């Protein structure tokens, strides 16, 4: 019999290469579509970027010169080409408010949102997955009813109300947590002069600097907004986990495992969870992306200097380069998380690798 091992390896390499090329092409077209949408938005909004820069008292000559400088006198397709070239090279324009590059300002604000959203997602996953599994394994029980009620409350209650009530109770009355902002005023000044901002995330930077007093103060400030976002994430994750797990527990392979006498814990957390993890990866990725993009109200209530607050403030004053730059970053996060979830699919589900 002929040895086919020499032919197997190239075929697998070819499949992997085609899959990788397909993913990269898909990402490129998705990012191109994102840039096209933001470009169209910038052209259709009733805000003249030239007047935003020069003011209402600018002369016709000054307006014409500024339009030429910005390239607004060129054909639309050429404008999009310039916009695409600049975005690909990291140039998202200049903020009308501060006259600073938008990409530099986003680099200052985004780590705060990343830190908050990451902790919120961790809280949501660590609480939501076990709660969903518990509810699925005991349908109709008091545990199932409590989990569903908590999820319903997370969907129903306004975020701003929960944030205000949390501040009133845990900060104003009980004094268990820090107030708005990322640090107390005194620690904020010390952080700027005594701690090197390696990542822009206060918990990591203060831990690397060995400033555990400042680290503790940062924990007291972030724990309430992170718990709020974690609760919202948990409501979604627990509901989806319950649905996925109940579907898997009704499958024949689960019945077979139980008939063979396999411990119930192993049936649930090993056999059923392997199949639940595949769709659950998408749920967690979408929840994480939502917190990166949708924490505007939370950041506003808690005085959190993140990307959501940055985009909101820019929108209120008509600073469209900042708004569109933030939108591109958020869209890029969605694209990146989708790519990561696709890669995780292949690690969790062997069928996705064939």
DSSP 128-150: HHHHHHHHHHSTTSHHHHHHHHH
43 found inside a domain: yes
> Which domain, by its residues, includes 284?
102-353
In a domain, 97, yes or no: no
Indicate if 196 and 72 belong to the same structural domain.
Answer: no
* CATH (domain of 277): 1.10.3720.10
Could you give the CA distance from residue 105 to residue 95 in angstroms, rounded to a whole number? 9
pLDDT at 299 over 70: yes
Residue 6 has pLDDT above 70, yes or no: no
Q: What is the pLDDT of residues 210-219, one digit of tens each?
A: 999 999 999 9
Note whether 28 and 113 are same-domain residues: no
Return the pLDDT at 215. Answer: 94
Question: CA-based Rg of the chain, rounded to a whole angstrom?
Answer: 25
pLDDT bracket for residue 140 (50, 70, 90): confident
What average pLDDT is seen over the chain?
Answer: 84
pLDDT tens-digit map of 171-216: 989 889 988 889 988 888 888 888 888 888 999 999 998 999 999 9
Domain count within the chain: 2
User: What average pLDDT does this structure show over 12-41?
Assistant: 78
CA quadruple 116, 119, 124, 125: dihedral sign: positive
Residue 131 lies in a domain: yes
Are residues 315 and 184 part of one domain? yes
Residue 181 inside a domain? The answer is yes
- Whole-model pTM? 0.83
2 pLDDT band, cuts 50/70/90, is: very low
Given a contact cutoff of 8 angstroms between Cβ atoms, the answer to whether 287 and 337 are in contact is no
Query: In this structure, are 275 and 127 located in the same domain?
Result: yes
Look at residue 11 and tell me if it is in a domain: no
* Dist CA 268 CA 266 (whole Å): 5
The pLDDT-based confidence of 127 (bands split at 50, 70, 90) is very high
d(CA 288, CA 174): 30
| pLDDT (0 to 100) of residue 7 | 45
Domain boundary among 57, 88, 119: 88
Alpha helices for the chain (secondary structure H):
5-44, 49-54, 60-70, 76-88, 102-137, 142-156, 159-166, 185-194, 202-209, 212-249, 252-259, 264-266, 273-294, 296-301, 307-316, 320-348
Same domain assignment for residues 37 and 179: no
- Domain assignment present for residue 130? The answer is yes
């Amino acid at each position: 019999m002929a040895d086919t091992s020499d032919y197997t390896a190239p075929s697998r390499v070819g499949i992997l290469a085609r899959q990788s090329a397909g993913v990269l092409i898909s990402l490129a077209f998705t990012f191109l579509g994102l840039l096209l949408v933001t470009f169209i938005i910038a052209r259709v909004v009733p805000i003249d970027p030239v007047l935003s820069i020069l003011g209402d008292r600018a002369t016709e000559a000054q307006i014409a010169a500024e339009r030429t400088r910005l390239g607004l006198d060129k054909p639309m397709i050429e404008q999009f080409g310039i916009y695409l070239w600049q975005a690909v090279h990291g140039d998202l324009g200049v903020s009308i408010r501060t006259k600073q590059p938008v990409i530099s300002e986003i680099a200052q604000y985004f780590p705060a949102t990343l830190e908050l959203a990451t902790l919120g997602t961790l809280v949501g996953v660590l609480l939501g997955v076990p709660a969903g599994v518990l509810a699925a394994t005991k349908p109709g029980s008091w545990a199932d009813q409590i989990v569903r009620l908590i999820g319903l409350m997370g969907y129903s209650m306004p975020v701003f109300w929960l944030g205000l009530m949390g501040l009133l109770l845990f900060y104003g009355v009980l004094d268990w947590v820090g107030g708005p902002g990322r640090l107390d005023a005194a620690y904020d000044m010390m952080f700027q002069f005594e701690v090197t901002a390696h990542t822009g995330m206060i918990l990591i930077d203060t831990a690397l600097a060995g400033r555990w007093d400042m680290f503790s103060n940062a924990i007291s400030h972030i724990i309430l907004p992170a718990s709020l976002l974690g609760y919202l994430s948990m409501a979604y994750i627990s509901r989806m986990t319950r649905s996925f797990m109940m579907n898997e527990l009704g499958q024949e392979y689960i019945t077979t495992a139980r008939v063979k006498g396999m411990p119930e814990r192993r049936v649930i957390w090993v056999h059923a969870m392997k199949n639940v993890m595949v769709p659950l990866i998408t749920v967690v990725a979408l929840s994480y992306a939502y917190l990166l993009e949708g924490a505007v109200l939370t950041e506003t209530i808690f005085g959190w200097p993140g990307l959501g607050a940055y985009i909101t403030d820019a929108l209120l004053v008509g600073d469209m380069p900042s708004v569109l730059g933030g939108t591109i970053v958020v869209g890029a996060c969605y694209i990146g998380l989708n790519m990561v979830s696709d890669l995780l699919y292949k690690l969790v589900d062997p069928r996705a690798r064939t």
